[in-house]
C-alpha cells in the first residue's frame, strides 16, 4: 500500500515527507494505521552516528489502530487500538524474567532499521529500499508495520494521539522511578533534566510517595512545570551552589536520575547521593563517563536503566489507569503537529519550546 512517511535521507538534512510503498505484514507482524507518534531524543540518534543506515523512517512512540495481522499473530486483532513500544524476542533469559528491555536481541531488533532477516518494509518511488524498522515501527508515517510483541492493546475510548508518548519516553521516566529504582514513601530523589522523561519521573516520584523531589534544569519554564507536576524543589542546572542546595534539602538524596546523557551531569548527580544511594542513567550520546573513585567509596550505585527497566505490557496499562484517575497527567507535556510539520516539531523540541511533540499523520 502507498503511505506517507517522514524520511531521513541525509543525517544533517531536514526530514522529507514522501510517498512510499509499504509491504504486507509478515509472520508475527501487524499493520497499524498511525493516529499519533511522539518525538523523542532517541529519534535523533541516527543523525549523529553510523549505527543505523539511511534512508530511514524515524518514530518509535506510535499509537494507532490495527488494520491487518500477519501469520502466527494471536494476541492482537484487526480493530484493536494499540500503543507501539520497543521490540524483544520473548525467548531469551531476560525476556523470560520479565525484563524485555535487556533482551539479547534488543540492539538489532530496535536500532538496525531492519527485520531480523535483513529485509525492510518500505521502498520509495524509484523502488529503492527505505529502512522502516526503527524500534520495530518507524511510526512517523500514516501506516506502519510493527511486531506483535511491540504493541500494547489499550481501550478503544482513549485519545490515541495522547497515548503515543507512553511507548518510550514516558514509560522510561516512570519505569526508572517505579520499576528500576523502586523509589518509596519518604524517599528523596534528584532528577536532572525535565524533558518528557524527567517530568514523567517527577510525576512517578510523587505517586511513589517520595518526601523530597528535586528537579534540575536550565529552563525556568520547565522548572515551573516540574513544581506543578510534583517537584518539591527546583534548581537551575547552572547554579554553582546546586550541590549545597540539594544537600540542604535532602541531607544527601536516596536516589538520583540523570536524563541528560551528559557525563558531567551524571557525575554531579552521583555526588548528590547519600551513602548507599542509587543513581540511574537513562540518556546516551554524551561521550565517555569518567567516575572519580571517591564518588563511589560510600557504597553508591551507578547503573544504566534501559527503557526504565519497563515491561510495556505491564507498565503502559498501569500508567493509562493512573492517567484516567488524574494522578499521572502526562498529557500536559504534549503539543501536536501535523506530519507535514515534522521539522517544526523537531525545531521546537530542540529549542525546549515543546516538551513532547506528537505528530498527527492525518492532522
Tens digits of residue pLDDT in 68-88: 999 999 999 999 999 999 999
C-alpha cell of residue 270: 552521583
Residue 154 lies in a domain: yes
The number of C-alpha atoms within 13 Å of 160 and in the hemisphere containing its C-beta is: 25
Q: Where are the beta strands (DSSP E) in the chain?
A: 2-8, 16-22, 29-38, 56-57, 62-69, 81-84, 122-123, 129-130, 143-147, 151-154, 188-192, 212-217, 233-236, 253-258, 273-281, 301-304, 334-338, 356-360
Q: What is the pLDDT of residue 48?
A: 81
User: Percent of the chain, pLDDT > 90?
Assistant: 93
The pLDDT-based confidence of 328 (bands split at 50, 70, 90) is: very high
- Whether residue 266 is found in the same domain as residue 154: no
What is the average pLDDT across 313-330? 98
Across the chain, mean pLDDT equals 96
Residue 218 lies in a domain: yes
Helix (H, G, I), strand (E, B) or coil at 6: strand
**Strands 334-338 and 253-258, bridge-based pairing:** unpaired
**Residue 291 belongs to what domain range?**
173-307
Q: Rounded to whole angstroms, how far apart are CA atoms 343 and 223?
A: 26
Q: What is the pLDDT of residue 149?
A: 96
Q: Rounded to whole angstroms, how far apart are CA atoms 165 and 329?
A: 12
CB-based burial label for 245 (10 Å; 0-12, 13-18, 19+): middle
Cα–Cα nearest to 314, from 152, 177, 190: 152
Residue 312 lies in a domain: no
pLDDT tens digit sequence for 102-135: 999 999 999 999 999 999 999 999 999 999 999 9
Cα 80 to chain centroid distance, Å, stands at 22
- Whether residue 102 is found in the same domain as residue 232: no
- Whether residue 275 is found in the same domain as residue 135: no
Cα–Cα nearest to 289, from 309, 270, 275, 308: 270
The residues, ordered by sequence, that sit 6+ positions from 329 with a Cβ below 8 Å of its Cβ are 203, 229, 323
Contact 138, 34 (CB under 8 A): no
CATH number for the domain including 65? 3.90.180.10
Backbone φ and ψ for 283, nearest 5 degrees, come out as -95, 160
CATH number for the domain including 189? 3.40.50.720
- Whether residue 11 is found in the same domain as residue 143: yes
Q: What is the pLDDT of residue 363?
A: 63
> What b-and-e string marks burial along 311-345, b requiring 16 or more CB atoms within 10 Å of the CB?
bbeebbbebbebbeeeebebeebbebbebebbeeb
Backbone φ and ψ for 345, nearest 5 degrees, come out as -65, -45
Based on the structure, what is the number of domains in the chain? 2
Residue 314 lies in a domain: no
Cell 493509562 appears where?
Answer: 320
- Whether residue 104 is found in the same domain as residue 195: no
pLDDT tens digit sequence for 213-251: 999 999 999 999 999 999 999 999 999 999 999 999 999
Residue 162 reports pLDDT greater than 90 = yes
- Whether residue 117 is found in the same domain as residue 200: no
Q: Rounded to whole angstroms, how far apart are CA atoms 50 and 197?
A: 25
Residue 321 lies in a domain: no
Amino acid at each position: 500500500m502507498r503511505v506517507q512517511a517522514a524520511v531521513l535521507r541525509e543525517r544533517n538534512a531536514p526530514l522529507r515527507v514522501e510517498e512510499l510503498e509499504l509491504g504486507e505484514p509478515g509472520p508475527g507482524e501487524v499493520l497499524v494505521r498511525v493516529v499519533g507518534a511522539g518525538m523523542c531524543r532517541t529519534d535523533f540518534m541516527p543523525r549523529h552516528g553510523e549505527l543505523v543506515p539511511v534512508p530511514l523512517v524515524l518514530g518509535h512512540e506510535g499509537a494507532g489502530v490495527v488494520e491487518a495481522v500477519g501469520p502466527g499473530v494471536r494476541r492482537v486483532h484487526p480493530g484493536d487500538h494499540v500503543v507501539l513500544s520497543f521490540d524483544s524476542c520473548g525467548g531469551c533469559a531476560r525476556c523470560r524474567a520479565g525484563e524485555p528491555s535487556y533482551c539479547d536481541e534488543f540492539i538489532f531488533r530496535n536500532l538496525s532499521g531492519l527485520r531480523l532477516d535483513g529485509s525492510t518494509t518500505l521502498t520509495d518511488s524509484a523502488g529503492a529500499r527505505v529502512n522502516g524498522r526503527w524500534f520495530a515501527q518507524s511510526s512517523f508515517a500514516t501506516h506502519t508495520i510493527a511486531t506483535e510483541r511491540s504493541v500494547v492493546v489499550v481501550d478503544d475510548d482513549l485519545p490515541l494521539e495522547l497515548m503515543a508518548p507512553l511507548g518510550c519516553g514516558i514509560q522510561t521516566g516512570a519505569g526508572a522511578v517505579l520499576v528500576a529504582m523502586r523509589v518509596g514513601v519518604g524517599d528523596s530523589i534528584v532528577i536532572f533534566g525535565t524533558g518528557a522523561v524527567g517530568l514523567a519521573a517527577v510525576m512517578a516520584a510523587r505517586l511513589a510517595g517520595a518526601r523530597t523531589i528535586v528537579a534540575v534544569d536550565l529552563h525556568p519554564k520547565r522548572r515551573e512545570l516540574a513544581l506543578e507536576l510534583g517537584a518539591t524543589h527546583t534548581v537551575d542546572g547552572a547554579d554553582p551552589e546546586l550541590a549545597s542546595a540539594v544537600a540542604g534539602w535532602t541531607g544527601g538524596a536516596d536516589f538520583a536520575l540523570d536524563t541528560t546523557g551528559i557525563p558531567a551531569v551524571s557525575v554531579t548527580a552521583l555526588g548528590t547521593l547519600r551513602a548507599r544511594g542509587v543513581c540511574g542513567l537513562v540518556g546516551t550520546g554524551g561521550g565517555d563517563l569518567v567516575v572519580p573513585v571517591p564518588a563511589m567509596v560510600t557504597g553508591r550505585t551507578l547503573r544504566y536503566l534501559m527503557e526504565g527497566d519497563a515491561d510495556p505490557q505491564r507498565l503502559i496499562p498501569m500508567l493509562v489507569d493512573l492517567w484516567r484517575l488524574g494522578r499521572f497527567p502526562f498529557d500536559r507535556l504534549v503539543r501536536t503537529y501535523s506530519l507535514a510539520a515534522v521539522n517544526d516539531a523537531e525545531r521546537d523540541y530542540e529549542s525546549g519550546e515543546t516538551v513532547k511533540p506528537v505528530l498527527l499523520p492525518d492532522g
